Structure 1
Amino acid sequence: MSSSNYLSISDILVTNEKVPCKFLLDLPKMGFLDPSAAENDLKAGTNIEIPLWLAESLYTRRPPLVSVDLPKIYKETYREILNADACTVDMHKLGQHFYELGCYIAKHDIKSEVSATLLNTYRQRFKMILSATVSTDSINSVQPLSASERERTKSAVVTERALSSWLKIGDCPLTTASMIANHRKRKRAEMELS
C-alpha cells in the first residue's frame, strides 16, 4: 500500500487512525487540536495524537510542521513479541488494519524495523492461516484476525472448497497445454538439427 486510494473504504479507515505527533513550529489558532490546551495557539514541542491523513499533510509540507512518532503497536516491545511468535497475537485487538497502517508508518521509521516486522509477521501468520483453511475445524482455533487477514482467509476457504469439489468430480482430466506441447516439439526439432 505505497499510495493512498481515495475511493477505498479500508484506506479511509486506515488513514483515520490516530498517530502520535510532535509539532515542530508554533501554529496560531490551532490550539483546538490539543484538548488539554488552554491557549488558542498550538506551541512547538506539543505532543498529541492526530489522524494519519492530517499528520501526513502536515509532515509533507516544507518545512514539515510535525514529526510523526511510531504508534505503540509498532514500537520495540510489540515488535519483539511479533517477531518471537506472531501466531499467538490477537491481531483484532492489536489493530484492525495492522498491515495497512504499518505500510504508512514504515516511512517514518528511521531504522526500517517496522517494514521487517510487517513482513515477518505476515509470513508467520500466512502459514498458520493457510494450514487452517485446509481444515474448517481449525479455522475457528486461529487467533482473531485483522481485517485484511479475514478477507484473505475467506478467499482461501472459498478457493479450497472449489478445488476440493473440482478434484472430487474428476471428469475433467488435466492435459498438457498446446503452448507447452508446441514448445517441446520445437526444442526436439532444434536438438535434431544441431
Structure 2
Amino acid sequence: MSRQSNYLSISDILVTNEKIPCKFLHDLPKMGFLDPSSTEDDLKLGTNVEIPLWLAESLYFRKPPLVSVDLPKIYKEAYREILNADACTVDLHKLGQHFYELGCYIAKHDIKGEVANTLINTFRQRFRMILSASCSTDSISSLQPLSESERERTAAAAVTEKALSLWLQRGDCPLSTANMVASHRKRKRAEMEMF
C-alpha cells in the first residue's frame, strides 16, 4: 500500500505536515533548532525528534539516509491491537483526523506490513458505521467518531442518498423493462416452449 503525494491537495498538505518521530543517523551542523529541547547549534547523532512528515521523507530518502522513521503511536502495536479487536469503538477523529492518509505514508516505513493490514481491517470494521452515518438524520452525533476522510465519504454518501430519495419520490419517470430485455425474454420463452 503506497501513497503518492498530491501537490495541489489541501488535505495532502495537512497530512504531510503531521509530525512523526524520527531518529537522526548523523550529526547535522546548524540544525539544532529542529530539537526544541536542545541548547546546542548542532543536531547530534541519535537525537530523537518529531518533525513534519514531508521533512522526514526528504531526509529519509537521501543517500545515505539522515533519519530513521519511527511509527507514530497510533500505528504502534498497542493501538493496532485495539483497532484490530474493535475499530468501531475508537474515536478516530480524536486519535488522528487523517488516520488512513497518514497511515498510507507510514506503511512505507513499516517493515512487517502490519500498518497496511491494520488500515484495511479498520476500514472493513468501520464501513457499516460509515454507511449508517450516511443514512442518519442525526448527522452530528453519527459523525463524531469518524476520521476526516470517513466524514468526507459519509457526506458524499448522504448527498447521493438524498438525491436518490428525491428521484424516487418524483415518480414522473417510473422504471420499466427495456424493449431489448422484453424481446429477449419472449424469445427465450418461445425457445423453451419448443422443447
Fold match (TM-score > 0.5): yes
Identity of aligned residues (%): 78
Measure, in 1, the Cα distance between the counterparts of 2:141 and 2:13: 29
Secondary structure (helix, strand or coil) at the match of 1:20 reads: strand
Distance 1:173 1:71, change over 3 A: same
Structure 1 pair 55–176 and aligned structure 2 pair: CA distance change class (3 A): farther
Unaligned 5+ residue runs, structure 1? none
Q: How does 1:1-194 map to 2 (within 5 A)?
A: 2-137=3-138, 140-141=141-142, 143-175=144-176, 181=181
**TM-score, reference length from structure 2:** 0.86
**TM-score, normalised via structure 1 length:** 0.87
Deviates more, 1:48-57 or 1:82-91: 82-91
Letter in 1 for 2:129: M
CA distance in 1, matches of 2:4, 2:152: 20
Paired residue type of 2:128:
K
Structure 1 counterpart of 2:7, one-letter code: Y
- Measure the CA separation in 2 of the matches of 1:26 and 1:63: 13
How many residues in Structure 1 have an aligned counterpart in Structure 2? 186
Q: What amino acid maps onto 1:32 in structure 2?
A: F
Deviations 1:57-107 (A, max 9, x none): 000100000000000000011111111111111111101111110010000
From the superposition, tell whether residues 6 and 177 of structure 1 become closer, same or farther in structure 2 (CA, over 3 Å). farther
Shift of 1:150: 1.0
For the Cα contact (< 8 Å) 1:129–1:139, is it kept in 2?
no
Deviation at 1:127, TM superposition (A): 1.3
2:156 & 2:65 partners in 1: Cα distance? 41
Q: Structure 1 residues 175, 62: closer, same or farther in 2, change over 3 A?
A: farther
Cα offsets for 1:153-174 (capped at 9, x unmatched): 1111111111112122222233
Structure 1 residue 139: Cα displacement: 6.6
SS state at 1:50 partner: strand
